[in-house]
């Protein structure tokens, strides 16, 4: 009952978010309509970061108490996280071409995001290739924790290398005030909530499938 209600609320939040993105907020003067990809790109990137933290926490829990739930949670969040991370990269590329004039640069934030996706792709591939179940889960948990060590690099990368990616405007490392207006800020907040809810639904579904398989 609760999950159905949650799915319905997510659907309504998504509809509201789409209305805000396409009708409520004006088109950005400097970047044009492509600036609106930020409302998909940022929430996707946010969810993939949340996924990495969740994978690391659940893997650490699994290493300590060996409860299958934590391993399943790590696997589910890793899979959904890789999906969201890949989509974040794709939407970033779509934004970069008209704004930067290139699809891809060797810029740190892009590169480290790709690196993280590759680490978690190795994690997922490893899980499918290893036959010994208990040992596999343990080693997978170790890989997840190692991967999580790389994740802070993503957040600090833009400040360390200071290249093409827009500077951080939200959070403790923010360097300047956002050029976006308040309406952009509110819409971004709603889209982050909508995508986070979608992330929860997808992870929960994957978790359910995994427990049914076992």
Partner 1 sequence: MRNFLNILQIIKIIVLKDFVEEIKSKEILISIISYSTLVLVVVATTSYINNSIEIFSTIFWISLSFSVILGINKSMSKEFENNGLEMLLTSPIGFEIVIMSKAITNFILISISSAIILLFNNIILNYDLYDLEFIFLVLIVNFGFSIIGTITYLLFSKARGKEILSPLLFIPLVSPLLMGGSLTSVQIMNNNLEGYAWYGLIIAYDIIFLLIGVFISNLIFQE
Residues found near partner 1 in the complex (CB under 8 A): 63, 108, 111-112, 115-116, 118-119, 121-122, 125-126, 129-132, 134-136, 138-139, 142-143, 146, 149-150, 153, 160
For partner 1, the closer of residues 30 and 132 by Cβ is 132
Q: Cβ of residue 138: shortest distance to partner 1, in angstroms? A: 6
Q: Cβ of residue 124: shortest distance to partner 1, in angstroms? A: 11
Give the long-range contacts of residues 27-35, CB within 8 A, separation 24 or more. Answer: 28/180, 28/184, 31/99, 32/98, 34/94, 34/95, 34/98, 34/99, 35/95
For partner 1, the closer of residues 160 and 182 by Cβ is 160
Longest dimension (CA), the chain: 57
Q: Cβ of residue 160: shortest distance to partner 1, in angstroms? A: 8
For partner 1, the closer of residues 52 and 116 by Cβ is 116
Q: How far apart are CA 152 and CA 155, in angstroms?
A: 5
- Which tokens in the block code for residue 48? 């993939």
- Which tokens in the block code for residue 207? 């978790």
For partner 1, the closer of residues 153 and 169 by Cβ is 153
Q: Is 28 helix (H, G, I), strand (E, B) or coil?
A: strand
Q: Cβ of residue 139: shortest distance to partner 1, in angstroms? A: 5
Alpha helices (runs of H) in the chain, residue ranges in sequence order:
2-19, 38-65, 68-100, 108-129, 133-161, 182-213
Q: Cβ of residue 126: shortest distance to partner 1, in angstroms? A: 6
Residue entry with tokens 């590329």: 93
Q: Cβ of residue 170: shortest distance to partner 1, in angstroms? A: 24
For partner 1, the closer of residues 28 and 163 by Cβ is 163
**DSSP state, residue 32:** B
Residue of 131, 152, 211 lying closest to 139 (CA atoms): 131
Q: How far apart are CA 214 and CA 67, in angstroms?
A: 13
For partner 1, the closer of residues 113 and 203 by Cβ is 113
- Which tokens in the block code for residue 79? 């899979």
- Which tokens in the block code for residue 30? 């400097």
């Amino acid at each position: 009952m609760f999950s159905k209600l949650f799915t319905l609320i997510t659907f309504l939040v998504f509809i509201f978010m789409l209305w805000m993105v396409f009708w409520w907020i004006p088109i950005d003067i400097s970047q044009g309509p492509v600036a609106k990809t930020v409302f998909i790109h940022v929430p996707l990137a946010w969810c993939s970061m949340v996924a990495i933290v969740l994978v690391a926490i659940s893997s650490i829990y699994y290493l300590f108490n060996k409860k299958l739930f934590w391993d399943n949670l790590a696997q589910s969040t890793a899979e959904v996280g890789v999906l969201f991370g890949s989509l974040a990269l794709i939407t970033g590329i779509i934004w970069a071409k008209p704004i930067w004039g290139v699809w891809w640069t060797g810029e740190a934030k892009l590169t480290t995001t790709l690196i993280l996706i590759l680490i978690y792709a190795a994690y997922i591939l490893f899980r499918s290739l290893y036959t010994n179940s208990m040992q596999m889960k343990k080693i997978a948990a170790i890989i997840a924790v190692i991967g999580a060590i790389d994740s802070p690099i993503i957040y600090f990368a833009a400040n360390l290398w200071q290249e093409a990616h827009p500077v951080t405007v939200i959070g403790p490392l923010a360097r300047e005030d956002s050029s976006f207006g308040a309406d952009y800020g509110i819409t971004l907040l709603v889209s982050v909530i909508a995508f986070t809810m979608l992330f929860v639904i997808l992870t929960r579904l994957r978790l359910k499938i995994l427990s049914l398989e076992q």
